Amino acid sequence: MKTIGLLGGMGPLATVDLFEKIVLNTKAQEDQDHLPILIYNNTQVPDRTEAILNKGKSPYPALLESCRKLQEMGADFLTIACNTSHYYYDQLLEEVDIPILHMQRIAAKAIEGSKFQKPVIMATKGALAVGLYQRALEERGLDYLLPNEEEEEAIQEVIYRGVKEGNFSLDQAKIKKAFDHFRDQGGDAFILGCTELPLAQKIYGWEGNFIDPSLELAREAILFAGGEVKDGPLETL
């Protein structure tokens, strides 16, 4: 049995969400059947989108320090509870001595095996700008839809002004308009490509077909650690 390293804090609720999904989806009858997990909830990592788009303070030093800390604590491999941080994936992988699971590639693999033909990529402006999900889907020859500028703003608002601020009564008019437009374009599923978005889906009661990369990452982490995934559909509270 391997020890999972969970790098979080970006944001804290997303960290709790990934941890919860690992626990809920592990086949276990007692405490001792669950997997050992080390969590570093580093809330001081500079904003990833700000760094990518506006040359803000780089999060890379804090990400690297966090990965090394988890490795030193005894993690056998790492998961990162932040999609946009995967922009630094290759650099981080070169600097640590343990594997790092890649959320976008894991999600793309799950989509390839699904019924969905044209998923919509919902993510931060930073992740969209550097093509994190675009590349992962294209590597598998998968089609997708991208939000326009207005829709990017609506997604960004949900992430930053909604979940990150703890504003659970945020007006949903803009994002619902985006969902309608995506469906009109033939979008048959929505990739929740920021770790705040699976939380938003539950908090605001969004309806539709959703692909949750955090959930897919949790499943992969369980298997990579030597655990068993529960039978049936993946679970969340």
Let me know if 67 is a catalytic residue: no
pLDDT tens string 207-219: 999 999 999 999 9
Phi, psi of 26 (to 5 degrees): -85, 130
How much is the mean pLDDT over the chain? 97
| Model pTM score | 0.96
The C-alpha atoms of residue 74 and residue 92 are separated, in whole angstroms, by 17
Place of tokens 């790092």: 100
- Judged against a pLDDT cut of 90, whether residue 234 lies above it is answered with no
Residue 226 CA to residue 223 CA, distance in Å, equals 5
In this prediction, residues 84-107 reach a mean pLDDT of: 98
- Region 13-21: mean pLDDT is 97
pLDDT, average across residues 80-104: 98
Please determine, for residue 61, whether its predicted confidence score (pLDDT) is greater than 90: yes
Residue 171 is predicted with a pLDDT of: 97
- Give 62-77 pLDDT, tens digit per residue: 999 999 999 999 999 9
pLDDT at 231 over 90: no
- Residue 161 tokens read as 């002004």
Distance CA 174, CA 53 (A): 23
Using the predicted structure, report yes or no on whether residue 232 has a pLDDT greater than 80.
no
**How many CA atoms lie less than 13 Å away from 83 in the CB half-sphere?**
34
The residue from 82, 101, 103, 108 that is catalytic is: 82
Residue 137 to residue 119: CA distance in whole angstroms: 10
Does the pLDDT of residue 235 top 80, yes or no? no
| 114 pLDDT above the threshold of 80 | yes
The pLDDT, as a whole number, for residue 233 is 75
Structure tokens at 230: 């529960």
Number of H helices, E strands in the chain: 11, 6
* Max CA pair span of the chain: 50
Section 101-117 average pLDDT: 97
Identify the band that residue 56 occupies on the pLDDT scale cut at 50, 70 and 90. very high
Cβ atoms of 105 and 138 closer than 8 Å: no
Place of tokens 């931060």: 124
Torsion angles phi and psi, residue 218, rounded to 5: -60, -45
Residue in 93, 75, 101 with CA at minimum distance from that of residue 2? 75
pLDDT in tens, 125-141: 999 999 999 999 999 99
Cα distance between residue 43 and residue 193, in whole Å: 20
The band of 236, judged by pLDDT with boundaries at 50, 70 and 90, is: confident
- % of residues, the chain, pLDDT over 90: 97
**C-beta of residue 43 within 8 angstroms of C-beta of residue 237:** no
Note if 194 is an active site residue. Answer: yes
With bands split at pLDDT 50, 70 and 90, how would you rate the model's confidence at 201?
Answer: very high
Query: 3-state class of 211 per DSSP?
Result: strand
Backbone angles phi, psi at 89, to 5 degrees: -55, -50
Catalytic residue among 122, 194, 217, 218: 194
**Of 150, 149, 167, which is closest to residue 158 (Cα–Cα)?**
167
Single-letter code of the amino acid located at 162: G
